[in-house]
Amino acid sequence: MRIDPVRTAVYALPLVMAVSLALARDVTSERNKPKTDPFGTWLTQAGDAKVLVKPCGSAICGKVVWLKQSIDAATGKPQTDDKNPDPSLRTRRIVGLQLFLDMLPATSSSWSGRVYNADDGNSYASTVALLDAGRLEVRGCAGALCGSEIWTRATR
C-alpha cells in the first residue's frame, strides 16, 4: 500500500488545527487566570511603599522593596527604621525591611502572624487576606483596637 502525502496532509490538517487551537486556548486561559495567591508586589493603600510578598517555608514574607520618598528629607540619606524602640535597629534601612513576621496560613486565602509598622516602630497581631486577585487586606490589632488597609497588586 502506497501512502499519498497530499491526501495524508489534507486529512491531518483538521486534526492539527484542532490541537493547535486547543493548546492556544489553554495557554491564553492560563495567562488570563486570576492569581489565587498573595505572591508578588503590592502597593500600600497610601501609595507610598511597595511590598514584595513571597513564600518563606510554610509562611509568607513581606519585604519593602520601594518607597515613594526613599530619601529622608532631614538627613539626605535613605529612610531608616528610626522609630524602632530598639536603638540598635534604628539604622536599618526601610527598603529591605521585613514587615510580615511568622505569617502562617489561617485559611486558603488568609494568613495570621505579626506585622511590623515602621511608622511607629511596633509590631502588631495581624491577618493578611487575599480579597481577590488584585486586592490584599492587611489588618493589625493592638488589643481590641484594630485597623486595616487595602493594598493593590502593583503592575511594576
Spans of all domains in the chain: 1-33, 40-153
Task: Please tell me the predicted confidence (pLDDT) of residue 36.
Answer: 77
Show the cell assigned to 19: 490541537
Is 70 exceeded by the pLDDT of residue 25?
no
Question: What is residue 149's DSSP assignment?
Answer: E
CA distance 68 to 87: 25
pLDDT in tens, 74-106: 999 999 999 999 999 999 999 999 999 999 999
CA distance 130 to 107: 10
Using an 8 Å Cβ cutoff, are 110 and 103 in contact? no
pLDDT-derived band at 155 (thresholds 50, 70, 90) equals confident
CA distance 151 to 134: 8
- The pTM assigned to this predicted structure is 0.77
CA distance 66 to 43: 9
Please name the CATH architecture into which domain 40-153 falls: Beta Barrel (2.40)
